[in-house]
Amino acid sequence: MKYIILITFLTLISCRTQKTGDQMGELATKIELNKTTYKQDEAIELTFTVSNLHDNTVSFLKWQTPLESRLTASCFAIIYNEEELTYNGIMIKRSESTKHDYVTLNSGESISKTIDIKNDYSIDKPGQYSIQFYGRLMNDLSDSNTLKFEIQ
C-alpha cells in the first residue's frame, strides 16, 4: 500500500513539474528602462512586459509581478556594489487566488506596465546598478533580461 501511495505521489509531482516547465517556455518576460543614466532624485521608470509566445491562449497568476496595482513582494534582483538591494515595499499574505488574479493572453499577445522602481527599492547612491525580474513557480514566469543603469 505504501508503495502505491509513493508511486502516485511521484507521478503527480512529475506532472506538475512538466506543466510548469512548458508554461515557462510559452511566456517571455522583458524589462525596459527609458534611459541608462539617472540623477539621484529622478524617478526610474521601468516597463515590465509579459508576452505569450505559444500558439495557445495562456493564463498566469499576476501576484508578485509589476502587473498588480503595486508591488507586493520582491520580484527584482537589483545589484549595487555586488550586493542585492533589499525590497522595502509592502508584503501581502494572501488567501486562495481567484479568476481575477490571473491574466490571460492570446497567442502573440503581450501585456505591459510601467512602474517607478524607486518606490520599493532604495536606489539612491551614485554608481552602477543592474536589475532583473525573477520569475516564480507561483506564476510560471521566467526570469527577464538583465539591464544596467547608473545613478549620478
Question: How many CB atoms are located within 10 Å of the residue 35 CB?
Answer: 10
Q: What is the 3-state secondary structure (H, E, C) of 44-109?
A: CEEEEEEEECCCCCEEEECCCCCCCCCCCCCCEEEEECCEECCECCCCCCCCCCCHHHEEEECCCC
112: which residues sit within 8 A by CB, 6+ positions away?
47, 48, 49, 50
Nearest CA to 46 out of 121, 111, 130, 113 is that of: 113
Radius of gyration for the chain, computed over Cα atoms and rounded to the nearest angstrom: 18
pTM: 0.82
Question: Which of the residue ranges 17-26, 54-63, 74-83 would you say has the lowest mean pLDDT?
Answer: 17-26
Look up residue 72 and give its three cell numbers. 507586493
Mean pLDDT of 23-52: 93
Is the pLDDT confidence value at 25 over 80?
no
Q: How many helices (H) and strands (E) does the chain have?
A: 1, 10
User: pLDDT band at 136, cuts 50/70/90?
Assistant: confident
How does DSSP classify residue 41? T
Considering its fold, how many domains does the chain have in total? Answer: 1
Look up residue 24 and give its three cell numbers. 515557462
For residue 1, the model assigns a pLDDT of 56
User: Is there a contact between 105 and 66 (Cβ–Cβ < 8 Å)?
Assistant: no
Identify the CATH number of the domain in which residue 15 sits: 2.60.40.2970
Domain that includes residue 132, residue range? 2-151
